[in-house]
């Protein structure tokens, strides 16, 4: 920051001469136009008055006046005439001198300081005019004490000069117009005397010391009082091409000016305009200060902008770094996730394989469970089948005896019993075959009551052996549900087998089978009068290999398989305890849609 200002300061120092020169130039232009006005005004005034004396002098009345010297009768008339002409041309005085230089008529005849009777023989404008030359002169009036331009012409009578007519114009008028201007205006005569000056201190003083000859001529013509014509403390100095510096005033209180001068049309005269350099310098300095401030402000703004941009870039860089970091982290995380995903996928696959294996194992176990149940039943079944077989044998033996003895009626009755027995055995065998078969997956409409009755029939040997009873009020109406006939039988056989096991040792060995119907479902309740399910059995009865039975007595598969079968049907298998004791197993099945029912059944409904 300090460096910026130091640089600006240095630049200002370097630029100062140029800036000042530019202001000097402007001032010169202004001074020149003032100069033109000044010289124009003076030239115009002189040009205006110059021909007037010649025009006036032609009047024969002046000849009359000069010829009748000593006869004053015409004088008042001439005086008045001159006064009148002076008033109309704007001259301060018009007067006539006889060949001795004595004023014989004057426009100012009425004034206290009238020229009447005054002798101006010493004035060049007199003696030159008397020599026949129209003349112009400038001087401080000896009578009036006023500076003036004098224009004179000879008054002729034929070819002889009989007198001189002079016209005087005062110069105060010009200076009045210049007062109030900060410029110094000087109009100097050929001797370098400031005949006109805006500053009264400089009036009638010389720009340079006058030579003795000049001084002698001034004294001789009484042009100016010599003691007043002192040199102005003045020195000139060229400060630039076509620019002159002028110093006025004594040492210590001098003032520097820029000088411009121009010759007037009057030979040897010059108009000079002095412009004070102080304000020009101040203006240049002021302009540089303003330039400095403006440039400084711009530099500061630029600096602030640059810093701001730098900050923004820094922020963007930091944000970019953070973003990169974040992206890296996200990439790493994503990689972790990918790895996790891959391992999860492989786990899912493993699970699927495991599930597949489990399903297969479960299917195998279902089969195994069925085989186990078959094994359990086989003892009872062999008894069931052996008994009718023994009966069939004895009926057949008896029938043969009755036929020998021609007792055909008894023989017939025995054969009928044999037929009944074989029917019964065929029925048992059919059930066994169905039970052992692996069921298909297809769901059919099956009659609930009929299936329960078939299961009960299958259980008959066990029921009887255990000394239990089954009560099942099937009612008149059949209910059709979705499922597999044999698989539902298998489930019911399982539940009933468990119930018989549970009621072992109980006084009342009764199993109640009932049906509950709802709009969409049909529920089969199998209630026993055993001790009911213990808490762990309530929680885990449907889990594979859960059993509370002795080793060899149960494998813990029956309910698990049953549960899955019912689930395959889209139904539910649940276990609970009856409030009055004993367990309840409920198989809830979906009703079969009407279009699945056999035609005959639909017709019956």
Helix (H) or strand (E) holding 427, with range, is helix 408-436
Contact (Cβ atoms closer than 8 angstroms) between residue 540 and residue 566? no
Q: Minimum distance from CB of 468 to ligand ADP (Å)?
A: 12
Tell me which of 322, 329, 549, 567 binds ligand ADP, using CB under 6 A. Answer: 549
The values of phi and psi at residue 446, to 5°, are -125, 145
Q: Report how far Cα 505 is from the mean position of its chain's Cα atoms.
A: 91
Tell me which of 24, 166, 246, 537 binds ligand ADP, using CB under 6 A. Answer: 537
If the CB atoms of residues 16 and 546 are measured against ligand ADP, the closer one turns out to be 546
Tell me which of 69, 118, 466, 548 binds ligand ADP, using CB under 6 A. Answer: 548
Helix (H) and strand (E) counts for the chain?
14, 18
Helix (H) or strand (E) holding 419, with range, is helix 408-436
Map the footprint of ligand ADP across residues 554-583, applying CB under 6 A.
554-560, 583
Binding-residue total with ligand ADP (CB under 6 A): 21
Mask for 230-259, x = binds ligand ADP (CB under 6 A): ------------------------------
Q: Minimum distance from CB of 491 to ligand ADP (Å)?
A: 11
| Cα Rg of the chain, angstroms | 78
If the CB atoms of residues 388 and 558 are measured against ligand ADP, the closer one turns out to be 558
Tell me which of 52, 207, 533, 592 binds ligand ADP, using CB under 6 A. Answer: 533
Tell me which of 223, 547, 564, 586 binds ligand ADP, using CB under 6 A. Answer: 547
**Angle at the Cα of 366 from the Cα atoms of 361 and 367, rounded to 5 degrees:** 95
Nearest to 106 by CA among 127, 68, 80: 80
Q: Report how far Cα 237 is from the mean position of its chain's Cα atoms.
A: 63
Asked if residue 528 binds ligand ADP (CB under 6 A), the reply is yes
CA torsion 480-482-484-488 (nearest 10°) is: -70
Asked if residue 369 binds ligand ADP (CB under 6 A), the reply is no
Mask for 81-110, x = binds ligand ADP (CB under 6 A): ------------------------------
Map the footprint of ligand ADP across residues 443-502, applying CB under 6 A.
494, 498-499, 502
Tell me which of 530, 569, 589, 597 binds ligand ADP, using CB under 6 A. Answer: 530
Reported as half-sphere exposure (CB side, CA atoms, 13 A), residue 38 has a value of 31
If the CB atoms of residues 443 and 555 are measured against ligand ADP, the closer one turns out to be 555
Q: Minimum distance from CB of 473 to ligand ADP (Å)?
A: 20
Asked if residue 539 binds ligand ADP (CB under 6 A), the reply is no
If the CB atoms of residues 209 and 467 are measured against ligand ADP, the closer one turns out to be 467
Which of these ranges, 38-46, 218-226, 272-280, 540-548, lies near ligand ADP under the rule CB under 6 A? Answer: 540-548
Q: Minimum distance from CB of 562 to ligand ADP (Å)?
A: 8
Q: Minimum distance from CB of 531 to ligand ADP (Å)?
A: 7
User: Which tokens hold the place of 590?
Assistant: 């979906």
Residue nearest to ligand ADP (CB): 554
Here the contacts of 98-102 (C-beta below 8 Å, separation 24 or greater) are 98/66, 98/69, 98/162, 98/163, 99/130, 99/161, 99/162, 99/163, 101/126, 101/127, 101/130, 101/164
Asked if residue 368 binds ligand ADP (CB under 6 A), the reply is no
Q: Would you list the DSSP string of 432-490?
A: HHHHHSPP-S--EEEEHHHHHHHHHHHHHHHHHHHT-EEEE---S---EEEE-HHHHHH
Task: Give the Cα separation of 317 and 329 in Å (integer).
Answer: 18
Q: Where are the alpha helices (DSSP H) in 147-209?
A: 172-178
Asked if residue 512 binds ligand ADP (CB under 6 A), the reply is no
Q: Is 357 exposed, middle or buried (0-12, 13-18, 19+ CB in 10 A)?
A: exposed
Q: Minimum distance from CB of 586 to ligand ADP (Å)?
A: 12
Q: Minimum distance from CB of 523 to ligand ADP (Å)?
A: 17
Contact residues: ligand ADP, CB under 6 A: 494, 498-499, 502, 528, 530, 533, 537, 541, 546-549, 554-560, 583
């Amino acid at each position: 920051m300090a460096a910026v200002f130091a640089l600006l300061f240095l630049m200002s120092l370097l630029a100062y001469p140029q800036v000042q020169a530019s202001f000097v130039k402007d001032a010169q232009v202004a001074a020149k136009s003032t100069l033109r006005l000044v010289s124009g005004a003076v030239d115009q005034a002189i040009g205006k008055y110059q021909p007037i004396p010649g025009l006036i002098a032609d009047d024969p009345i002046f000849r009359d006046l000069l010829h009748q010297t000593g006869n004053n009768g015409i004088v008042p008339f001439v005086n008045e005439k001159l006064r009148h002409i002076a008033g109309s041309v704007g001259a301060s005085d018009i007067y006539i001198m006889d060949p001795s230089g004595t004023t014989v008529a004057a426009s100012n005849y009425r004034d206290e300081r009238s020229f009447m009777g005054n002798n101006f023989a010493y004035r060049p404008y007199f003696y030159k005019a008397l020599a026949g030359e129209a003349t112009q002169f400038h001087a401080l009036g000896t009578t009036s004490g006023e500076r003036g331009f004098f224009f004179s012409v000879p008054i002729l009578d034929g070819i002889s000069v009989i007198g001189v007519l002079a016209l005087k114009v005062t110069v105060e008028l010009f200076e009045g117009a210049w007062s109030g201007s900060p410029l110094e205006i000087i109009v100097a005569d050929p001797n370098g005397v400031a005949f006109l000056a805006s500053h009264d201190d400089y009036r009638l003083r010389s720009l340079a010391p006058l030579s003795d000859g000049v001084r002698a001529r001034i004294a001789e013509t009484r042009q100016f009082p010599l003691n007043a014509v002192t040199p102005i403390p003045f020195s000139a100095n060229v400060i630039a091409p076509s620019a002159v510096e002028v110093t006025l005033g004594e040492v210590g209180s001098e003032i520097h000016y820029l000088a411009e001068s121009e010759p007037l049309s009057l030979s040897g005269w010059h108009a000079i305009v002095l412009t004070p350099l102080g304000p020009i310098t101040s203006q240049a300095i002021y302009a540089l200060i303003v330039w400095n401030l403006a440039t400084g402000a711009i530099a500061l703004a630029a600096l602030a902008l640059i810093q701001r941009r730098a900050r923004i870039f820094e922020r963007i860089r930091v944000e970019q770094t953070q973003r990169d970091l974040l992206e890296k982290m996200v990439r790493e995380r994503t990689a972790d996730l990918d790895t996790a995903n891959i391992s999860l996928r492989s786990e899912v696959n493993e699970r699927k394989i495991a599930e597949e294996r489990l399903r297969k194992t479960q299917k195998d176990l279902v089969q195994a469970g069925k085989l186990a149940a078959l094994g359990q039943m086989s003892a009872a079944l062999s008894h069931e089948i052996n008994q009718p077989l023994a009966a069939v044998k004895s009926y057949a033996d008896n029938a043969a005896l009755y036929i020998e003895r021609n007792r055909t009626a008894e023989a017939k009755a025995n054969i009928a019993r044999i037929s009944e027995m074989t029917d019964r055995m065929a029925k048992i065998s059919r059930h066994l075959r169905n039970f052992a078969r692996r069921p298909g997956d297809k769901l059919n409409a099956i009659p609930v009551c009929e299936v329960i009755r078939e299961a009960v029939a299958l259980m008959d040997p066990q029921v009887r052996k255990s000394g239990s009873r089954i009560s099942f009020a099937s009612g008149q109406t059949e209910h059709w549900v979705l499922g597999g006939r044999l698989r539902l039988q298998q489930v019911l056989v399982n539940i009933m087998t468990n119930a018989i096991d549970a009621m072992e040792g109980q006084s009342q060995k009764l199993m109640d089978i009932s049906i509950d119907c709802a709009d969409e479902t049909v529920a089969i309740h199998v209630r026993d009068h055993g001790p009911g399910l213990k808490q762990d059995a309530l929680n885990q009865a449907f889990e594979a290999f859960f059993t509370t039975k002795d080793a060899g007595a149960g494998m813990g598969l029956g309910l698990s398989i049953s549960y899955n079968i019912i689930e395959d049907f889209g139904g539910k298998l649940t276990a609970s305890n009856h409030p009055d004791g004993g367990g309840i197993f409920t198989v809830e099945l979906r009703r079969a849609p009407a279009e699945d029912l056999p035609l005959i059944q639909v017709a019956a409904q």
